[in-house]
Structure 1
Amino acid sequence: MTDFTLVDDHGGLISYAAPAVEPLTRPTARFGSRIAFAAAHVVPNAYADNTPGRPAEIDWDATLGFRRHLWSWGLGVADAMDTAQRNMGLDAAATRELIARSAAEARTESGFDDLADAVVVGVNTDHIEAADIDRDQVIAGYAEQLEFSQQQGAGVVLMASRHLARAARSSADYVDVYGRLLADVERPVILHWLGEAFDPQLAGYFGSADVAEASKTVLEIIGNHPDKVRGIKMSLLDADAEIALRAELPDGVRLFTGDDFNYVGLIEGDGVRHSDALLGAFAAVGPNAAAAFAALDDDDHERYRAILGPTEALSRQIFAAPTFYYKTGVAFLSWLNGHQPSPAMIGGLHSARSLPHLSEIVRLAAEANALSDPDLAAARWHGLLSVNGIEVQR
């Protein structure tokens, strides 16, 4: 049993004893019933100038080591996504290097037969500095990143573009842009629908603030090119909307849940349909997700819920409003678990959450069996408290 000192919203100290838990068992075979990608974060050099607006200086040993950790549990990696701080500090040069390094590492270290199962990478227009561009420029921007990513051999996620959100005047513009892009992809890609909770600049994406109307546009895009779409990652934090869209997808097109609030039930499904996973939350609870998927492969739904169910409260805390700061909790938990030498983040984003918020992550991680070494986590957490002027009596 490991003892922690936690902090409440008023600075009060709380003694907490972490519960005893059973070690999670690493799967010995590839998952058969679900596809799972964990959207991995990046680790900067702690000594770098990690201040807003500065180019990213990545600790490649820690960053790639974290990807090897996820692969070792049988999870695929979704890289260069918003979890990796796209549009929040990861500049264009660092993004390209991340994609190239991650794909190269996956070839030799992932253990997957198909590189597109080991790693999928985000393709966007975020290398274009101008805030406003027209549709043709959006397509050209996407195409530039698409060509580079396909050259690396990785699978592709066509991310939601802030530029397209500004340039589009109707749903027809989305149908046109995505149609022209899909016509040129080398192999099926994953589409990406990120809600405004994650990025307010993407409000009304796919042509409407009404999710049902926007879903019609998504289905039209997929229906026009079903052989070019592997699936869609849906991150609206709206389980009912995901279930409704999932029911309408053509055969062979998957729904990859990005709902970090409701993934347990969405992945389990209703006995007829289920969601697969492409989740930032799984960067925080990768071993739990892997053990739960192994239980699903054994058709042991009770064990699946017992393993993964408690992680949902932890994920809800990590992704609490303002949700776009969830990356801070992912990196913090990675540090507690020994995957990186510092909780530092690109752009100084490690300062985006309060000590009480992080304290609750500590408690919920212990409750969810998401601390791989509770003694190490306690030592690091108490050290962070000390740096912030809170002395822990041991």
Structure 2
Amino acid sequence: MTLRLPLPGGGTRAYRPRTEPLAPAAPGAAALASRTVLAAAHVVADPYAGTTPDGPAAVDWDATLAFRHHLWSHGLGVAEAMDTAQRGMGLDWGGAAELIRRSGAEARAVGGRIACGAGTDQLAAGTLPEIRAAYEEQLAVVEAAGAQPVLMASRALAAAATGPEDYLDLYGHLLRQAAEPVVLHWLGPMFDPALEGYWGSADLDAATETFLDVIAAHPDKVDGVKISLLDAGREVALRRRLPDGVRCYTGDDFHYPELIAGDEQGFSHALLGVLDPLGPLAARAVRVLDTGDTAGFRALLDPTVPLARHLFEPPTRYYKTGVVLLAWLAGHQEHFTMVGGLHSARSLPHLARAYELADGLGLFPDPARAEARMRALLTVHGVPR
């Protein structure tokens, strides 16, 4: 059978879904060896909760935590309460704190790797002392959960800072008191426009110098840096300037295969939102890389880039909608709704193309179920059969 997929601007075209999934590595495989790979995971909304887009997030905890176990079962780590989990876009700090506590407990139970975002989203705005206190509150929650902290970029700090010195002072204070080495996260304005000018300058070269100054002052407290600028050349240049022992975790959802594969001067580890839908396939690819077969790794992962570029197309911050669609189609949740009502953030033609690309890659464990669910979504939106 064929599906009639909607086209941008009107009309439809026929698509014949595949009937067999790709065969990924079976769950229960050993941890990945040559790269540290963390998938930034989404949250599953509770579709029966009486909430509104501007109210507190209502989370289906069983489905949300089951998805973390899915990622761990393939040897991936989980990057929790990051922007993929809709931090600042539907998930408030109260919900994020509960997510961190629950996921931390689940990680300890199964021996799964977990890193969690610590930011300042309990503040709409504030003074520098208030921003520092907000970071400290969240850092304490992450450390109490037994997770590695990821110091996330702060909208409040971007608004309050007057120059690079404010970043050097605040991050220096946080790093000095961190119990264990943290990951520093540089999230570009394509993911969050409120972060324009982070590190004290809209000039990325100047911002890079401040970022490196923070790391150089406290290399023993920085496990690594997550770079989410969608600029492979800039990431490689920065990666080559990191102190010994400080890792680069790519956050580049456009160029991840080449950055993870690396070159003669090094490579990037990964902390990526696109690994939410790609988890099993990505784990299979990294296991090939573990054997030294870079070409085999690229042969598996390069074909996923068109899907990633589609999911993360501008406005990039709405990539979560496609990620959750694919989780529903793959059977990881029973509905296509999101906290904050974000399931409405992408057009139907965009979602249809995401389905087509993912189906072409064989990402759906049960292609017939994915087809039936996509058909139901199209019917609800009035697409003719």
Instruction: Work out whether the TM-score is over 0.5.
Output: yes
Aligned to 1:169, the other structure's residue is in SS state coil
Deviation, 1:275, is 0.5
Letter in 2 for 1:105: E
Deviation, 1:50, is 4.8
Letter in 2 for 1:51: T
Residues 153 and 222 of structure 1: is their aligned pair in 2 closer, same or farther, counting only changes over 3 Å? Answer: same
TM-score normalized by the length of structure 1: 0.94
TM-score normalized by the length of structure 2: 0.97
- Partners of 2:6 and 2:383 within 8 A in 1: no
2:199 and 2:277 map into 1 onto residues whose CA distance is 29
2:123 and 2:277 map into 1 onto residues whose CA distance is 31
Between the two proteins, the alignment pairs up a number of residues equal to 383
2:285 and 2:361 map into 1 onto residues whose CA distance is 12
- Partners of 2:17 and 2:371 within 8 A in 1: no
Aligned to 2:39, the other structure's residue is in SS state strand
Higher mean alpha-carbon deviation, 14-23 vs 228-237, is at 14-23
Q: Give the structure 1 partner of residue 200 of structure 2.
A: 207
Aligned to 1:150, the other structure's residue is in SS state helix
1:90 aligns with 2:91: yes
Q: Give the structure 2 partner of residue 230 of structure 1.
A: 223
1:25 aligns with 2:25: yes
Deviation, 1:272, is 2.4
1:204 and 1:255 map into 2 onto residues whose CA distance is 21
Q: Give the structure 1 partner of residue 36 of structure 2.
A: 35
1:21 and 1:381 map into 2 onto residues whose CA distance is 16
1:264 and 1:46 map into 2 onto residues whose CA distance is 35
Q: Give the structure 2 partner of residue 5 of structure 1.
A: 4
2:291 and 2:13 map into 1 onto residues whose CA distance is 40
User: 1:8-157 counterparts in 2 under 5 A?
Assistant: 8-19=7-18, 22-26=22-26, 28-109=29-110, 111-112=111-112, 118-129=113-124, 131=125, 133-157=126-150
Q: Give the structure 1 partner of residue 251 of structure 2.
A: 258
Deviation, 1:25, is 1.9
2:146 and 2:315 map into 1 onto residues whose CA distance is 35
1:239 aligns with 2:240: no
- Partners of 2:117 and 2:152 within 8 A in 1: yes
2:123 and 2:375 map into 1 onto residues whose CA distance is 42
1:287 aligns with 2:280: yes
- Partners of 1:3 and 1:378 within 8 A in 2: no
1:354 aligns with 2:355: no
Deviation, 1:3, is 4.2
Deviation, 1:299, is 1.1
2:362 and 2:291 map into 1 onto residues whose CA distance is 21
Q: Give the structure 2 partner of residue 307 of structure 1.
A: 300
Letter in 2 for 1:336: L
1:385 and 1:90 map into 2 onto residues whose CA distance is 28
| Uncovered stretches (5+) of structure 2, i.e. residues with no partner | none
- Partners of 1:50 and 1:345 within 8 A in 2: no
Aligned to 1:121, the other structure's residue is in SS state strand
Deviation track 1:314-344 (CA, whole Å, cap 9, x = no partner) reads 0111111111111101100000000011110
1:4 and 1:29 map into 2 onto residues whose CA distance is 38
Q: Give the structure 2 partner of residue 389 of structure 1.
A: 382
Deviation track 1:334-360 (CA, whole Å, cap 9, x = no partner) reads 000000111100111000111100111
1:182 and 1:312 map into 2 onto residues whose CA distance is 35
User: Over aligned residues, Cα RMSD in angstroms?
Assistant: 1.3
- Partners of 2:321 and 2:345 within 8 A in 1: yes
Higher mean alpha-carbon deviation, 12-21 vs 299-308, is at 12-21
- Partners of 1:168 and 1:207 within 8 A in 2: yes
| Uncovered stretches (5+) of structure 1, i.e. residues with no partner | 113-117
Deviation, 1:7, is 1.6
2:90 and 2:250 map into 1 onto residues whose CA distance is 25
